[in-house]
């Protein structure tokens, strides 16, 4: 695909003809992107409080027997000071160290490469990872979520708000970038 600039428009619903926001996005040739709109469409003139991100992906295959994650904080109601992110292999004995610290609203992490754990507990059918999101500096989870990636894959985890609410969503949106 050649370099280009496109306009992205947001609407409240598919049958609505009044746009909430409109913004131009520049694309580079040969680059894949994750595109996210965040913010508050109900405030500001013509969606002026909506932020549109065009985030370049790095979909280079991970090393053999590894999986990669990155986190995008698109939650306007994430805690002040950001969030810490833990991704622990199951079975989780106790939360380990955060793989990301202080990820604030409108920040994107680097990719985190973790050893693939297809079945690290032969007495239990559960395997994979447990994602914990905490307020930065705390070990009390805001939420936790089971992740079950395949070997040698890349995943983007997007932190969002509850639709129509004023709190962080208790589940991350998991995008499989490379499988």
Task: Measure Cα distances from 7 to 25, 26, 92, 109 in Å.
Answer: 6, 9, 45, 26
Specify the number of domains making up the chain. 2
* Environment class of 152 (CB within 10 Å of its CB; exposed 0-12, middle 13-18, buried 19+): middle
Domain range for 167 is 60-179
Average the pLDDT over each of 2-16, 19-33, 36-50, 103-117 and give the range with the smallest value: 36-50
* Whether 123 and 78 share a structural domain: yes
pLDDT in tens, 134-151: 999 999 999 999 999 999
* Whether 123 and 84 share a structural domain: yes
Residue 30 CA to residue 163 CA, distance in Å, equals 33
**Which pTM was predicted?**
0.89
Residue 106 CA to residue 128 CA, distance in Å, equals 28
Better-scored residue on pLDDT, 152 or 47? 152
For 68, the token pair is 């990669």
CATH number assigned to the domain comprising residue 109: 2.60.40.1110
* Whether 152 and 95 share a structural domain: yes
* Whether 68 and 21 share a structural domain: no
* Whether 40 and 75 share a structural domain: no
* Whether 52 and 68 share a structural domain: no
Judge contact between 68 and 154, C-beta under 8 A.
yes
Residue 103 CA to residue 172 CA, distance in Å, equals 14
């Amino acid at each position: 695909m050649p370099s280009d600039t496109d306009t992205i428009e947001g609407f409240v619903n598919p049958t609505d003809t009044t746009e909430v926001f409109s913004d131009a996005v520049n694309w580079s040739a040969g680059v894949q992107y994750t595109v996210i709109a965040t913010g508050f469409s109900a405030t500001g003139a013509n969606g002026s409080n909506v932020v549109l991100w065009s985030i370049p992906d790095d979909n280079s295959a991970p090393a053999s027997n590894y999986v990669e994650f990155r986190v995008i904080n698109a939650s306007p109601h994430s805690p002040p000071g950001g969030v810490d992110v833990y991704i622990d292999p199951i079975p989780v004995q106790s939360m380990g160290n955060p793989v990301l610290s202080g990820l604030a609203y409108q920040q994107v992490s680097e990719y985190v490469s973790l050893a693939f754990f297809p079945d690290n507990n032969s007495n239990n059918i559960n395997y994979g990872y447990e994602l914990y999101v905490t307020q930065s500096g705390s070990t009390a989870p805001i939420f936790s979520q089971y992740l079950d990636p395949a070997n040698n894959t890349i995943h983007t985890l997007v932190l969002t708000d509850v639709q129509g609410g004023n709190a962080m969503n208790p589940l991350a949106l998991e995008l499989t970038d490379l499988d």
